[in-house]
Structure 1
């Protein structure tokens, strides 16, 4: 009976021990779960914050993109409206011009072409006139220089001739009146007048007295006419 009682207690003891072991293991798991709760909470909070930041960033980006799109759409809309206004402006539509307006525009265009053509011709003529003025001015300068040269030559020639005539006058004044009269009668009237005009009166009178009366008369008339003539460069007042 004692042995039977012991045999019956063994299963009860094993069951009790198993039950206690199970409870112990459950307590251990409970303790482990309690220790991990703060860590899990921290991870959960961190994940929530990360998701919130991502959502906020995504929202901001979406808002910026939306704003840019709206701005772009607004600009395109303004351009479209402006273009539409230009297109809708009846003044810019050539098909709405009347025939008289078209004729007037054509006339103005033709007139503008004529004015431009005339302007080009005027500019060309001005250029030609300026070139001609330069050539004329150069030619005038050359002519003035030539005139000066000629005047100098004439003056030189006149001075030389005057010197020669003065020498002849002295010769005839030194000659005897009869000899001088004989030579005077052989000279042509112009040469005779040149010499006689420069001779002193008291030297010329005896010579003319010895000359042929007709010749002496002609010389007297011409000398009178020459002496009435004004000197070169003298102003004559009637």
Structure 2
């Protein structure tokens, strides 16, 4: 009995007063105010990776745009340089082909020049023989032959002949033929001479 009374006395001392206990309790939240949320952080989770999206070319600005522009210009310059190299190679090949053609044509050109010189020498020798023949003739006899020859032939002979001998032959030739030969020797064409005569002669002149 005595022990039971001691236990009740100890319990009564440890029990706090009711008003003090009520004051110690947390007060209820005010109306309209939500209590702070309690977020549990799981430290084992990793943040999600950022989204992968393609760059928009229209949005390229600043240093990136300058670098891309420089790369495009570099590619264009490389292409231009390659085209120039190809053109240079083609020109070199064309020049080499032309040099080969010229080298192959040089012997032919030399042969043609030699043939032309030979023909000129033969032609000169033939005309010199004709000049010597007519120079040895009497002027009147040569004039009668010249009157029936082509004026071009007579002109070539008289041009190679001594001026005194040619003058004596022209003096006894037919006047009309001698006039034509003289005009040709002076470098005047018959048509030009006829036109000048028509301008100088008065109307009704023979």
What range is the shorter-chain TM-score in?
Answer: 0.5 to 0.7
1:224-235 matched pairs, under 5 angstroms: 224-225=186-187
| Larger RCO of the pair (alpha carbons < 8 Å, separation 6+) | 2
Residues 51-92 of structure 1 show CA distances to partners (whole Å, capped at 9, x for unaligned) of xxxxxxxxxxxxxxxxxxxxxxxxxxxxxxxxxxxxxxxxxx
User: 111-120 vs 130-139, which deviates more?
Assistant: 130-139
TM-score by length of 2: 0.54
Equivalent position to 2:112, from 104, 125, 150: 150
Long gaps (5+) in structure 2: 1-54, 189-206
Q: Aligned partners of 1:146 and 1:186: how far apart in 2?
A: 42
- 1:161, CA displacement in angstroms? 0.2
- 1:158, CA displacement in angstroms? 0.9
Residues 21-78 of structure 1 show CA distances to partners (whole Å, capped at 9, x for unaligned) of xxxxxxxxxxxxxxxxxxxxxxxxxxxxxxxxxxxxxxxxxxxxxxxxxxxxxxxxxx
Match of 2:86 in 1: 124
Question: Which of these two proteins has the greater Rg computed from alpha carbons?
Answer: 1
- 1:174, CA displacement in angstroms? 2.3
Equivalent position to 1:199, from 157, 161, 169: 161
Match of 1:111 in 2: 73
Q: Aligned partners of 1:147 and 1:114: how far apart in 2?
A: 48
Match of 1:212 in 2: 174
Q: Aligned partners of 2:73 and 2:82: how far apart in 1?
A: 14
Q: Which has the higher helix share?
A: 1
Match of 2:134 in 1: 172
Q: How many residues were matched structurally?
A: 130
Residues 161-193 of structure 1 show CA distances to partners (whole Å, capped at 9, x for unaligned) of 000001111111223333321221122222211
1:72-87 matched pairs, under 5 angstroms: none
SS at 1:211 equivalent = coil
Long gaps (5+) in structure 1: 1-94, 227-238
The root-mean-square deviation of aligned C-alpha atoms, in Å, is 2.5
Match of 2:184 in 1: 222
